[in-house]
Amino acid sequence: MPLTLSTRDQEMLHGAHGEAAKIAMTIVTRMAEVSGAKELLDITGAHIDSTVYIGDAGLEFAERLARLGAKVAVPTSLNVSGLDEHHWKEWAVPSDWARQAYRQMVAYQSMGTVPTWTCAPYQTEMRPSFGQQVAWGESNAIVFANSVIGARTERYPDLFDICCAITARAPAIGLHLTENRAGQLIFRLQDIPTVLQQSDDFYPVLGHFIGKHTLDKIPIIDGLTVIPNEDHLKSFGAAAASSGGVALFHMVGITPEAQTLEAALQGNHPTQIIDIPLNQLRESRRELTHTNSTELHMVVLGSPHFSLAEFKRLAPMLRGKRKHPDVKFLVTSSRAMTQLAQKAGYLGDLESFGAQITVDTCILTSPMLPETIQNLMTNSAKFAYYTPGLLNKKIAFGSLQDCVNSAVAGRILRDESLWA
């Protein structure tokens, strides 16, 4: 069946709403046809991942839209940029690269967007509500919006998110539609000690495992004996969206569309039931470490961007301590969250510990690390997953406490007792 367009869609397609809207609608409709949509639907929010500077093609796309007067038609947050605008000179960012990345920031800001510059827009005032139709980019944000909030977005790539924001339309496909949100695979936790489930490093490890075994399906996780907090779910989703293409998960009794197992399945039969014993999770945890050495140059926290609650948790761990002089300790977050943490009094402990904060960007999207930094440690499965390929550096994964202990000791230390 061919794609049916509204009168306004057709006007846009023919240029009645300006040249930028015409390009955006052309891309939206071509992709709607590719994906077999019968119609477009209204969206009331967007999150733009295209802000990340990759190269000249992405910049040309942004500047062309901006030059043609593109304006977003719905409230729109912006993902991380390539640059910490005010602090990039303290790092190894080449100045010509910084100029290009800055041009891309300016282009997207000129379209009437909100410069949130964060990969965790769901922890800002731009957080969508249950059932809201949105067009979001950034894999960790997509999976959080769909799963933890119950907002509805497809797994939209860079460049498409902005087209949806300009037209306020998206193809009526995939996770926008109730019937496509049913869980498909069931993962059952088997005899996983509650004390391990309370540990912050349990969730990225579980997410890494589930992403790898789910790929692009919708997993249901059953058998948790604790209620994870929002940052646990954030790290879980980010991990599952890195090792797999997970855009929606259900946790029975925890996430909003999974009050019960039956609700999560929408009455369907699961295609597979997979039991997860502890030894498989141990193996997943090992996979996240990509080094044989205990040498350490830098600890990186904040992928996805650190929340206020995470700053609050970190501060007392650092109190009265000082990092090893040869190790850098970096937290990445948004400028808004950092200001809140400042006002709440959490940053004093970070400063006296010797921690640095980078805002608006991410070590994975900004060429900020010098050659001298080769061995990293993180509490993020997403960082751990992407660092070897994107940065060509060694990475070790540990809990937040492991990261702090290692930064003090000057070498990688991990508490194995919970995983034994």
Partner 1 sequence: MGLTLQGKVVIAGKAQGSALVSRDPLSFWGGYDWKTGEIIDRRHPLSGFIAKGRVLALPFTRGSSTTTAVLLEAIRAGTAPAAILTTDIDFFFALASVVADELYAAPLPLVVLTEEDFATLKTDDTVEVLSNGEVNIQR
Give, as ranges, the residues between 160 and 199 that touch partner 1 (CB under 8 A).
160-161
Q: Which of 57, 260, 269, 325 binds partner 1 (CB under 8 A)?
A: 57
Q: Which of 17, 152, 155, 297 binds partner 1 (CB under 8 A)?
A: 155
Estimate the share of the chain in helix, then strand, then coil, as percent rounded to the nearest 5.
40, 15, 45
**Tokens coding 150:** 């119950």
- Cα distance between residue 317 and residue 312, in whole Å: 10
Q: Which of 34, 269, 320, 372 binds partner 1 (CB under 8 A)?
A: 34
CA angle 235/353/305 to nearest 5° reads 25
Q: Which of 108, 122, 144, 156 binds partner 1 (CB under 8 A)?
A: 156
Note the Cα 121 to chain centre separation in Å: 9
CA Rg value for the chain: 22
The enclosing H or E element of 209 equals helix 202-214
Smallest separation (angstroms) from partner 1 to the CB of 232: 20
Give, as ranges, the residues between 120 and 149 that touch partner 1 (CB under 8 A).
137-139, 142
> Quick check: 383 binds partner 1 (CB under 8 A)?
no
Q: Tell me whether residue 27 or residue 400 sits nearer to partner 1 (CB atom).
A: 27
> Quick check: 27 binds partner 1 (CB under 8 A)?
yes
Q: Tell me whether residue 1 or residue 57 sits nearer to partner 1 (CB atom).
A: 57
Site mask for partner 1 (CB under 8 A), range 283-312, x = bound = -------x----------------------
Residue 100 neighbours by CB distance under 10 Å: 17
Q: Tell me whether residue 199 or residue 361 sits nearer to partner 1 (CB atom).
A: 361
Smallest separation (angstroms) from partner 1 to the CB of 169: 15
**Tokens coding 99:** 């100029």
> Quick check: 245 binds partner 1 (CB under 8 A)?
yes
- Cα distance between residue 365 and residue 391, in whole Å: 10
> Quick check: 23 binds partner 1 (CB under 8 A)?
yes
Q: Which of 54, 189, 226, 274 binds partner 1 (CB under 8 A)?
A: 54
Look at the block and give the residue holding tokens 């999560």.
264
> Quick check: 94 binds partner 1 (CB under 8 A)?
no
- Measured CA to CA in angstroms, residue 338 lies from 13, 214, 259 at distances of 42, 35, 34
How many residues belong to the site for partner 1 (CB under 8 A)? Answer: 47
Question: Pick from 44, 20, 63, 72: which is nearest to 170 by CA?
Answer: 44
Q: Tell me whether residue 21 or residue 142 sits nearer to partner 1 (CB atom).
A: 142
Contact 311, 341 (CB under 8 A): yes
- Measured CA to CA in angstroms, residue 365 lies from 61, 189, 387 at distances of 18, 34, 11
Contact 126, 45 (CB under 8 A): yes
Q: Tell me whether residue 195 or residue 390 sits nearer to partner 1 (CB atom).
A: 390
Q: Which residues bind partner 1 (CB under 8 A)?
A: 23, 26-27, 30-31, 34-36, 49-50, 52, 54-58, 60-61, 64, 137-139, 142, 154-161, 211, 215-216, 241-245, 290, 364, 385-386, 388-390, 392
